[in-house]
Amino acid sequence: MSRHDRRPILRSSPCIVVRPSAPPASGWAWRCRTCQALLGRVLDNRLHIKVRSCSEYFASLPCTATCRTCGALNEVARD
C-alpha cells in the first residue's frame, strides 16, 4: 500500500455549520404565539433567525414574520 492510498477522502458539503462552544450568554427566544415554534432569538437590539441549518440572518427590531409551522403572523418589538 502506498502512502497515497492512506489519504482521507474529502467531500464537499452544501453548507458549513459552525457551532459555538458555549450557548449564547444573553437573549430570549421569540416563539410563535399560536404553536410556540421557535422563530428566532432576540439578542440586544437585533433578531437572530436561523432557517434549518444552512441559512442564518440578523434583522433589526421591530420585526414581523410568518410562522413556518402554522402560518400565524407574529411581531416582535423593542423593549
Dihedral (Cα; 11, 16, 19, 20), 10-degree rounding: 110
| Position 64 in a domain | yes
| Position 21 in a domain | no
- Full-prediction pTM beyond 0.85? no
Would the pLDDT of 4 be above 70? Answer: no
| Position 56 in a domain | yes
The tens digit of pLDDT for each residue in 14-65 reads: 544 444 444 455 689 999 999 999 999 998 889 998 887 788 889 999 999 9
| Position 13 in a domain | no
Which cell numbers in the block locate residue 29?
427566544
| Position 41 in a domain | yes
The residue segments making up the domain with residue 72 are: 27-79
| Position 4 in a domain | no
The tally of domains found in the chain comes to 1
| Position 16 in a domain | no
38 contacts: CB under 8 Å, gap ≥ 6: 29, 30, 31
